[in-house]
Structure 1
């Protein structure tokens, strides 16, 4: 195997076309986070983005996008922002993983959303987890019947709240694939508020992430595009989502809603409307990503699988990385495996968010006023 490392932006059009062809040939790779367009966009914004081009002597058989950080620490492309990563290759390709790391100048590669079962990494998987999906291959109505079977009570309650929202706040309207940047700003504002309110780090406080979202929103092609959806009550936006799609799959990324309308469960109402619109647009699947949200179990009609693991070459940097990451990953797995612990952790974060918001509010209100007559 010949492995050549370049930046994604240096790939020629023939190489990009070959990447797309490899992705289309393997259903397990049908995820926009594995698309060449996402890799090129990341490369425009981050200096540490690379891709290994793998040639078996007859031609290119695979692409391995990754991030190379200090001390040769390797991370998946997009890291914490993404819900899928891996090797884009001909089916069944097995590369000597340590030779791959040497070529990429990596001491360690740590993954947590890898396409499960890829031969190159399978021996290094420490855990495999389901990612719930909304599957429309049998049509929207068939999917809705599965949702109803999952929980008739939940569907009945949401439909009641949907009618109540339209009756009390204005006729409901759903917009699919909005190109309006102002609508995107509304959604990101809600999401930032949610991050702060629930004690999470506000991802959009990093300008490059906002720029990445803008680049993705501007993408419009048959194989890859950003999809912005919004639910309106009258003329008022109440819930939305921004995700990425291939020709047939949308990946859930940034859902959010206006908390002024929380009593109507606008986020779930939006997801039902989004499912119908996506199916009509030719989407066969919405990948909701692994994670502990109860609504996913209710809306799912199938599952994909992603893996966690780590591969390394002997080095001091790899040893230090192991001490810093592996215990944390194990603790996170324990929490995710136990609903009671997950809910407790969520409550703690939300409490932290409330305290932080209160402190920030007090700080903004305690402005020292200049005495009357002073200059």
Structure 2
């Protein structure tokens, strides 16, 4: 297998066409797995790369990633890539370890990898549910099914909406809101949420905004950023910045005005998104992994997303594998709170390393995390 390493900006029309054909064959149904997302991340970061794999002169796959220090690869656009991994033609011979070596990488860490042919099963540490509302473009019918299946939950949402209308004024959901001030407000609310909860502010690095602007700078009807909002008497109460692509609308960056928190404006907006999938040009709403305590009330379908790491063959990769394995052993050891803290620290440090390209940002992020979790 021949491997050609390029920057996403070097992808030509033929490569883009081949990439989209492969993801269609795979049935990934994810904007994060499409070349448009890789190209947007490439506009934002110079360390973005795409490995193009060929067999007998025919392209059989693409693997987008960020080339990090010590020959460590991370998913393209991480930690914003809610699904990631290589796009490989179904049935093609593909060995992740050999591919990584050909790419000049020792390891590839992933958290929500799509692996329909189980090529990464040996390195998987955990499998989690990705929540998907397969509306088929008829969001109204899907929402009716949800209400019938989860009557009490959705009656509560409806009761809170009536309370909101009675106490604060008329409620309107704008499915495709193009108001730039509302866009900025949603980002501000999200950053305030990170500050209040002590989480790392993944929206702070400059490259993130460059990527968002690149995704929003399109008139295409089948891909790009979409923002939906919930307004009360014209006032912005909640908003969600979504990503459309491959027939899926990805629930991505939701935020709301804390003043309206008792009315669950975010959940009201989510149901509005599901009801409006057809109008938004989508066949499904993908809610991603985690937070199943509420997502299970908005979806019937699940997709398997795996967490783990893949390693190349060779001494350097084995050292890295041993170090990561030792940390993972601490997480799974019967040490009670210490094991839980180890897992939390790994996820936090991994997020910081992914979103902060520069050493200074990583050092500051780690220092903040240490101050937050240090005893006393």
TM > 0.5: yes
TM-score by length of 2: 0.83
Is the CA contact (8 Å cut-off) linking 1:71 and 1:317 kept in structure 2?
Answer: no
List gaps (5 residues or longer) in structure 2. 335-339, 349-367, 369-376
Q: Which has the larger radius of gyration?
A: 1
Deviation at 1:315, TM superposition (A): 2.9
Deviation at 1:210, TM superposition (A): 2.0
Secondary structure of residue in 2 paired with 1:157: helix
Distance in 2 (alpha carbons) for counterparts of 1:10 and 1:217: 20
Q: 1:1-375 residue pairs with structure 2 within 5 A?
A: 1-27=1-27, 29-137=28-136, 139-312=138-311, 313-316=313-316, 318-320=318-320, 322-324=322-324, 327=327, 331=331
TM-score by length of 1: 0.83
Distance in 2 (alpha carbons) for counterparts of 1:60 and 1:3: 10
Distance 1:95 1:203, change over 3 A: same
Distance in 2 (alpha carbons) for counterparts of 1:159 and 1:118: 41
Is the CA contact (8 Å cut-off) linking 2:34 and 2:246 kept in structure 1?
Answer: no
Distance 1:298 1:64, change over 3 A: same
Secondary structure of residue in 2 paired with 1:230: strand
Question: Across the two proteins, how many residue pairs are aligned to each other?
Answer: 338
Distance 1:150 1:199, change over 3 A: farther
Deviations 1:63-104 (A, max 9, x none): 111111111011111222221012213223231222211111
Deviation at 1:318, TM superposition (A): 4.9
Distance in 2 (alpha carbons) for counterparts of 1:4 and 1:113: 25
Corresponding residue for residue 373 of structure 2: none
Is the CA contact (8 Å cut-off) linking 2:240 and 2:252 kept in structure 1?
Answer: yes
Deviations 1:294-345 (A, max 9, x none): 11011111111111222213334652465257635984999xxxxxx89xx8
Distance 1:165 1:330, change over 3 A: farther
Is the CA contact (8 Å cut-off) linking 1:108 and 1:318 kept in structure 2?
Answer: no
Is the CA contact (8 Å cut-off) linking 2:157 and 2:267 kept in structure 1?
Answer: yes
Distance in 2 (alpha carbons) for counterparts of 1:325 and 1:42: 30
List gaps (5 residues or longer) in structure 1. 335-340, 350-355, 357-375
Secondary structure of residue in 2 paired with 1:280: coil
Is the CA contact (8 Å cut-off) linking 1:35 and 1:224 kept in structure 2?
Answer: no
Deviation at 1:23, TM superposition (A): 2.0
